[in-house]
Amino acid sequence: MSIDRDTVLKVANLARIRLADDRVEPMTKELSSILDWIEQLQEVDVDGVEAMASTVEVSLPMREDVLAEDQTGGGRPEEVVANAPKTEDHFFVVPKVVE
Question: Could you tell me the pTM of the whole model?
Answer: 0.48
Q: What is the pLDDT of residue 70?
A: 66
Per-domain residue ranges of the chain: 5-41
Question: What residues in the chain have per-residue pLDDT under 70?
Answer: 69-73
Give helix 21-41 / helix 5-14 axis angle, nearest 10°.
90
| 81 exposure class (CB count in 10 Å sphere: 0-12, 13-18, 19+) | middle
Q: What is the pLDDT of residue 87?
A: 93
Spatial CA neighbour of 29 closest among 3, 11, 6, 9: 3
For 15: left if phi > 0, alpha if psi spans -120 to 50, otherwise beta; the answer is alpha
Question: What is the dotted CATH code of the domain comprising 5-41?
Answer: 1.10.20
Give the span between the Cα atoms of 60 and 54, in whole angstroms: 14
Percent of the chain with pLDDT over 70: 94
